[in-house]
Amino acid sequence: MIRSITQQKSEEEIDQLLSGLGRIFVIGCGTCVTLTHTGGRTEVNVMKEHLANKGKLITGDLVLPVACDNMTAEALNEHGQQIDQADALLIMTCAFGVQTIAKQLKKLVVPALDTLFIGKETALGQFDEVCAQCGTCILGETGGICPVTSCHKGLVNGPCGGTNDGKCEIDNAKDCAWTLIYNRLNELGRLDGMRKLQKPRNHQGEPSPGKFIL
């Protein structure tokens, strides 16, 4: 299962973002952030308690079924009065959810989470980064193994020279991504691909705001 992977901002950062704002409405989401325990019902309740201890007044709370979809507007409308009473919405969803909510309401939104990457669940509660949405996918030349997310240095031309018995020099518990790529290309009879020099990665990606038109 593919999920938006998030982590909660530190309490200090959240307190600082909410400084001067006395009345808060807290919003969580029942999908990705519930699975990663960063913004589901339990985390919303803990956050409310934290805010109350800091002297904030909680005007209400809501855990949207899917914060990033179009039904969000209806669910928010049902809590219109409590939302109106708030100085700000503290939103415990991925950045897509925060933006979806911000578009529906003329209210200050404060994200409580950082959105890290797109992850695949590999075991209960464990997610591996599968794609950083780098904008220049080279999976076709690496045997389907992503070096941007699998190599500790994100090298698109590897290995780096520190590979040790197929393990990564930065974390020897992990396989070197470029050794895996070499082995895969070898199996496929495409080792000549290792000689192809990839262009330097464009860390700026696409000009913002990104757009895709079918």
Footprint of ligand SF4 on this chain (CB under 6 A)? 131-134, 137-139, 146, 148-149, 151-153, 155, 158-160, 162-163, 168-170, 176-178
Closer CB to ligand SF4, residue 108 or residue 131?
131
Closer CB to ligand SF4, residue 82 or residue 163?
163
Q: Convert 37-69 to b/e letters by CB count within 10 Å (16 or more is b).
A: ebbbeebbeebbeebeeeebebbbbbbbebbbe
Query: Rounded distance, CA 120 to CA 117, Å?
Result: 10
Q: Residue 207: is the preceding peptide bond cis (ω within 30°)?
A: no
Could you give the count of Cα atoms lying within 13 Å of 186 in the half-sphere of its Cβ? 6
**Which residue do the tokens 């193994």 mark?**
145
- 147 phi and psi angles, rounded to 5 deg: -75, -25
Q: Least separation, in Å, of the C-beta of 179 and ligand SF4?
A: 7
Q: Least separation, in Å, of the C-beta of 135 and ligand SF4?
A: 7
Closer CB to ligand SF4, residue 8 or residue 142?
142
Closer CB to ligand SF4, residue 52 or residue 170?
170
Q: Least separation, in Å, of the C-beta of 36 and ligand SF4?
A: 20
Q: Least separation, in Å, of the C-beta of 192 and ligand SF4?
A: 19
